[in-house]
Structure 1
């Protein structure tokens, strides 16, 4: 069984802040990334909270992320905002544009934020969850380096190419948030299994020879499989066009690996914000009623089922012991530097 360390939320936040600073990130980058990491730890998949945070810390130190970026924002059309993240974290560019995106959506009914030249986007549900808190429906798509084959035996052509969808359900509920990869599993799950010496299910990945494997180490050297065969591959292509296509960022085939080397991934992210009708139409309340109806029929509601509401600020966050030690070491380095 994987050993875990339990941290209070304030303690976890302080640890993450010190680790980012210890890795060389400037203050605006630190704040943006830590907020997203804590949100993922509270609401998202466990692997996209602190475990993925370690990828960011390593990438700060090894040059894959610009530690002191100056993102730019343009508005070529009234409801279209275009960001260049300047090699920094995707969350910062989104933060800087957020008020304008929300304002444009409320003015025009829909708005698009598209960004290039950033590190990987992290937990994609974070972006649509923030929009849902403003009463907006959100759709997000992003890419990274190629690690997904379109079919067994073929070359890796896409990243895990996740997409996220969020719909607000009213003040009495968390928003519905669907956040899933086009691959059969997220790459971070493969990495986590390898680190702990655990096998992976068949159908998740292939080895370097294109053969199905249950060995995560061989999967890392091979490629991931799409969910649902060709249909999952089609979804990956759709996400590729929404993210790299609309942003003008690099295709997954041309993107450096986010965990090795010193080249910056510089990938794309696209987020749509949609007003769910006029307030008097009650679309949010109607959606909330439908979700409760489905839940009563034992339907799993992503972003809602199994998650405490209202969220507790005193609930402990569980962090794998090896991840905690990696973050703690960088936090200590930051304290020594100060």
Structure 2
């Protein structure tokens, strides 16, 4: 089924409110959901929305909480999501974040006690559109093993980076520390499909291509120890410095009635203070790299996208929440 962006936002708002979200929460989540679709990250767009809706209904997400902001230092913004969504916490701090970056050149945004953050590139892309360079890290419920252990100890622990570029969309890098996102494993299991080797292990710690066995086991880091090291760095930024739950301590994002209580860490920098022609330099360098056949991450984002295609089965699933 095909929706224009306005209709897609309205549909997302409608189902969120029906599942128990406040209008403010629904607006923030709908905007992020549509943005994920526009960036080509549909796995964390409308396909991920049922996880939020179930969270509202089961108590994993506080659907009506207003995040609390405080400022421990001039260039630090600390947010307690109070068991709600990270997107609303970021929205509530966004203008203040821009103000403080303008004043101090760099500002750190630290958020704790939230549900999983959705598309991580969404946060840094918004900052890059304001001329800022941004780096983000977030953790989640333990889904990924590391080293010789078969126990899940980290979330997929993604990191994202964005930078402004003259006369084009920002450069955006958004990738998990795991070899794949959990939603891809789950989708394969639902459809009875196999998965590539190296994505996951089964509950006995053996490599598996059986998606249903992988669900019982754990994801694997990309690049072995190197990916696991990045997952650890993300964990320290997203949970250690924010005071959020470590992934090992985070309740499940798709089961139970307790919030994962995880974190989101963002650094925003005004590059113009260091290099006045930064965006122009970026454009020139990207053009040079592209001419050599180098793929530039972020090209998939379509700012002028006017329609979103959703499967009829997904629409039916979302519409069921309207009857609650």
Mapped to 2, the partners of 1:17 and 1:63 lie a distance apart of: 18
Q: RMSD over aligned Cα, in angstroms? A: 1.4
- Counterpart of 2:8 in structure 1 is 12
Q: 1:272 to 1:321 in 2, by over 3 A?
A: same
1:71-103 deviation digits (Å, cap 9, x = unpaired): 110101000000000110000011101111111
1:159 counterpart (155, 165, 178):
155
Q: How does 1:88-107 map to 2 (within 5 A)?
A: 88-107=84-103
Q: TM-score normalised to the size of structure 2?
A: 0.96
Is 1:292 matched with 2:282?
A: no
Is 1:272 matched with 2:267?
A: yes
Q: How does 1:189-268 map to 2 (within 5 A)?
A: 189-268=184-263
Mapped to 2, the partners of 1:206 and 1:54 lie a distance apart of: 26
Structure 2 stretches lacking a partner, 5+ long: none
Deviates more, 1:271-280 or 1:238-247: 271-280
Q: How does 1:1-338 map to 2 (within 5 A)?
A: 5-151=1-147, 153-170=149-166, 172-278=167-273, 281-304=276-299, 306-308=300-302, 311-314=303-306, 316-330=307-321, 332-333=322-323
Does structure 2 conserve the Cα–Cα contact (< 8 Å) formed by 1:256 and 1:265?
A: yes
1:98-122 deviation digits (Å, cap 9, x = unpaired): 1111111111110000010111100
Structure 1 stretches lacking a partner, 5+ long: none
1:173-223 deviation digits (Å, cap 9, x = unpaired): 111110000000011111121222221101000110111111211111100
1:313 is displaced (CA, Å) by: 4.6
Mapped to 1, the partners of 2:40 and 2:274 lie a distance apart of: 29
Mapped to 2, the partners of 1:195 and 1:50 lie a distance apart of: 17
Mapped to 1, the partners of 2:102 and 2:140 lie a distance apart of: 31
Mapped to 2, the partners of 1:256 and 1:194 lie a distance apart of: 22
1:157 is displaced (CA, Å) by: 0.7
1:219-241 deviation digits (Å, cap 9, x = unpaired): 11100000000010000000000
Mapped to 1, the partners of 2:121 and 2:44 lie a distance apart of: 10
1:44 is displaced (CA, Å) by: 4.1
3-state SS of the aligned residue for 1:295? helix
Mapped to 1, the partners of 2:51 and 2:235 lie a distance apart of: 22
Mapped to 1, the partners of 2:313 and 2:257 lie a distance apart of: 24
What is the aligned residue count? 324
Mapped to 1, the partners of 2:320 and 2:148 lie a distance apart of: 40
1:275-312 deviation digits (Å, cap 9, x = unpaired): 113397201110111112112222111111x444xx22
3-state SS of the aligned residue for 1:149? coil
1:4-40 deviation digits (Å, cap 9, x = unpaired): x332222211211110011010011001100000100
Does structure 2 conserve the Cα–Cα contact (< 8 Å) formed by 1:255 and 1:267?
A: yes
Does structure 1 conserve the Cα–Cα contact (< 8 Å) formed by 2:150 and 2:204?
A: no
Runs of 4+ that moved beyond 4 A: none
1:132-185 deviation digits (Å, cap 9, x = unpaired): 111101100010111111135531110000000001112x21111100000000
